[in-house]
């Protein structure tokens, strides 16, 4: 059984879902409550997911920090592209520089110990 919850005005809308709404409208299958929720959405909260954005790279100072730690860099480089992409997105998507720095330090520390960050292991990310 699937449970569907109504969308809030601040819900994130994926690119796939916005295309699906357009298709349902064209087919005349969009119901008024769904159309109302779609019209209330914040366009700035569309296409926010990491897989919907262009591949990011670490900012040059962050890249230098990671490469300066040879053990961490070797482990990070050996990881699959999907892991590296999401890990970089996690670091670079933070709004505040302090948060980006903290996330990078966590990534370097985990990589040095040959561990994936908590996002990928089911463990919570420890905050200091």
Could you tell me if 127 and 119 are in contact, meaning their C-beta atoms sit under 8 angstroms apart? no
The greatest distance separating any two alpha carbons of the chain, rounded to the nearest whole angstrom, comes to: 58
Give 92-116 pLDDT, tens digit per residue. Answer: 988 899 999 999 999 999 999 999 9
Could you tell me if 77 and 113 are in contact, meaning their C-beta atoms sit under 8 angstroms apart? no
At 97 the pLDDT is 94
Give 4-52 pLDDT, tens digit per residue. Answer: 667 777 777 778 888 888 898 899 988 888 888 888 888 777 766 656 6
* Whether pLDDT at 127 is above 60: no
* Whether pLDDT at 62 is above 60: yes
How many Å apart are CA 19 and CA 52, to the nearest integer?
13
Which tops the pLDDT comparison, 117 or 118? 117
pTM equals 0.60
Which tops the pLDDT comparison, 20 or 72? 72
At 12 the pLDDT is 77
At 66 the pLDDT is 97
At 50 the pLDDT is 58
Q: What mean pLDDT do residues 67-87 have?
A: 94
What is the per-residue burial (b if ≥16 Cβ within 10 Å, else e) of 53-71?
eeeeebeeebeebbeeeee
Ramachandran assignment for 28, one of left (phi > 0), alpha (psi -120 to 50 degrees), beta (any other) = left
């Amino acid at each position: 059984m699937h449970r569907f919850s109504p969308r809030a005005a601040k819900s994130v809308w994926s690119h796939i879902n916005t295309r699906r709404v357009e298709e349902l409208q064209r087919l005349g299958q969009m119901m008024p409550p769904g159309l109302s929720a779609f019209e209330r959405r914040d366009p700035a909260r569309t296409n926010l997911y990491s897989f919907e954005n262009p591949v990011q790279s670490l900012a040059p100072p962050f890249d230098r920090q990671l490469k300066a730690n040879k053990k961490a860099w070797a482990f990070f480089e050996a990881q699959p592209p999907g892991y590296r992409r999401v890990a970089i997105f996690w670091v670079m998507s933070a709004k505040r520089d302090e948060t980006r720095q903290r996330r990078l330090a966590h990534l370097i520390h985990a990589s040095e110990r040959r561990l994936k960050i908590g996002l990928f292991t089911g463990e919570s990310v420890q905050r200091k």
